[in-house]
Amino acid sequence: MIGYHYTTREVWEQVQYGSLHPAPMRQHEYDHFRKKTPTLPRDAIWAWKEELTNEQALIVLMSLASMHLSFDLVLLRLDYALSSSAIHICKEHPDDRLSFTCSFSAGRLDTGSLPIDLILFSVPAANITKLWEVDLLAHLQGRHAEENNLVLV
């Protein structure tokens, strides 16, 4: 299976020499997903099942930057086995129609109910490709001190 995972550059630097490991979900996310899958473990890797549009990616990047206080972010392409997916492992739905969606929004920009997957096992570096990296604050670097003293009215 293929998934897309946004993360910080710091995480990417560690992943290159090992694996991307599941991490604890935020409480509201965990509570939301456990409504469908009471046996869902607390730790998972969040993977979008489709590439996001630029507008959708911006929402995700801004949210990620604010959560981690890191503005140097990357998009990773993950190649993982169906057997490591929460959709496959959590057996509350024997018809295998279990699916996860999530929405981020900011004003008129909204990701809608885009499909995601929750990967429950580590993904080795050999199965991860960095698609791109962006430093959201790069345009501010190198400015003169007086240019940074903006007055907002």
Residue 45 has pLDDT above 90, yes or no: yes
Residues contacting residue 76 through CB under 8 Å, at least 6 positions apart: 4, 5, 6, 7, 12, 15, 20, 128, 129, 130, 131
Q: Is the pLDDT of residue 19 over 90?
A: yes
The mean pLDDT value of the chain amounts to: 82
Confidence of residue 68 (pLDDT cuts 50, 70, 90): confident
